[in-house]
Structure 1
Amino acid sequence: MANQFGTKIKQLREANHLFQREIASALNTDTPMLSKIERGERKAKKEQVPLFEKILKVKKHELLTLWLADQVLELVSNEPVALKAIDLAQREIKGLTLNRS
């Protein structure tokens, strides 16, 4: 299963020359847990995503988008009507967005 969020976290951490222990400390978690998040064995909590964005110096919502995509994929990956459901949800989301404008 895809792990876009964890893969991106690892890439950004390495690009910023940060150790797992540094990020884990800032997130108030331990290094093994961060390692599992990077490998896709555990999910980051949604509340942690803005902290990752700040620590790794990325645009707001860049990592949230990946995190949410992983959540959706996990939910629908084994569903035969996944694409139809996503299409319907996309239309609903667009309608909600238009109504907020």
Structure 2
Amino acid sequence: MQFGERIKQLREEKELLQRQLAASLEIDTPMYSKIERGERRAKREQVIALAQLLNINEEELLTIWLSDKIIENVGNEIAALAALKHAEQELKKKSK
């Protein structure tokens, strides 16, 4: 599931309007709508704020958001999966 789809699902489950979340994020409703539709990327601070507003684990929402960013950058590359596996190995080395 993509980031926009997930926040839309959570918003609808909580019966919130786009304008309510937009106001809490201090952005206009059309911009928020574009984030839900995947036409615009949310900023990291907005993702964290949305996690709090939608009462969802921050790490879960950040993971989906980062995944979208990765797909946007490498999704059309032939070697995308190999590059992701390599990146995973490098991240594991750095986390030790």
User: TM-score of the superposition, structure 1-length normalised?
Assistant: 0.91
Q: How does 1:1-101 map to 2 (within 5 A)?
A: 4-97=2-95, 99=96
Amino acid aligned to 2:88: Q
Aligned length: 96
For 1:88, the aligned partner's letter is H
1:60 Cα offset (Å): 2.2
Partner Cα separation in structure 1 for residue 30 and residue 58 of structure 2: 26
Separation in 2, partners of 1:41, 1:57: 24
Deviation at 1:47, TM superposition (A): 1.5
Instruction: Give aligned-pair identity as a percent.
Output: 51
What is the CA–CA distance in structure 2 between the aligned matches of 1:60 and 1:9, rounded to whole Å?
A: 12
1:33: Cα distance to partner? 0.5
What RMSD, in angstroms, separates the aligned Cα atoms of the two structures? 1.0
- Which amino acid is the alignment partner of residue 70 of structure 1? D
Task: Mark the runs of 5 or more structure 1 residues left unpaired by the alignment.
Answer: none
Instruction: Kindly state the Cα deviation for residue 32 of structure 1 after the two structures are TM-superposed.
Output: 0.4
Shift of 1:93: 0.8
